[in-house]
Amino acid sequence: MKEELDALTKNHTWDLVTLPPGQSVVGCKWIYKIKTHSDGSIERYKARLVTKSFTQEYGIDYEETFTPVACISSVRALLVVAVTSKWDLFKWMLKISSLMGI
């Protein structure tokens, strides 16, 4: 959980603001998963913080929350531009779930 919170803080995922009068907060919850090797041994524990978007109400706070998602075709296009322009490429830490829109 600490690793996930550190990543969210480092990437400036949210801003802490005062709640406007008459507005409600969209809650969140932790999703836990155990990643295993092919032999069944534990590789690592994962924790992900997600919003409870089902609590939002259309017309009130429905359009206020968004998640930018990288489309795989956009990533590929960017890589093509980088290669044809002979730019230096560095390792990216991409999460497949983000690319797949999950």
Please name which of 52, 51, 95 lies closest in space to residue 70, comparing C-alpha atoms.
95
Q: Which of 31, 33, 61 is nearest to 46 (CA)?
A: 33
Q: What is the pLDDT of residue 64?
A: 57
| Dist CA 8 CA 69 (whole Å) | 15
- Give the model confidence (pLDDT) of 24-40 as tens digits: 777 888 888 998 999 98
pLDDT, residue 100, reads 46
Q: What parts of the chain have a pLDDT lower than 50?
A: 98-102
How many angstroms separate the CA atoms of 5 and 1, rounded?
6
- The pLDDT score that the predictor gives to residue 39 is 92
Q: Where are the domains of the chain?
A: 1-64, 68-102
Enter the pTM of the model: 0.42
Could you tell me the two tokens for 54? 């089902």
What pLDDT is recorded for position 81?
92
The predicted structure's pLDDT at residue 84: 93
The tokens of 19 are what? 């709640």
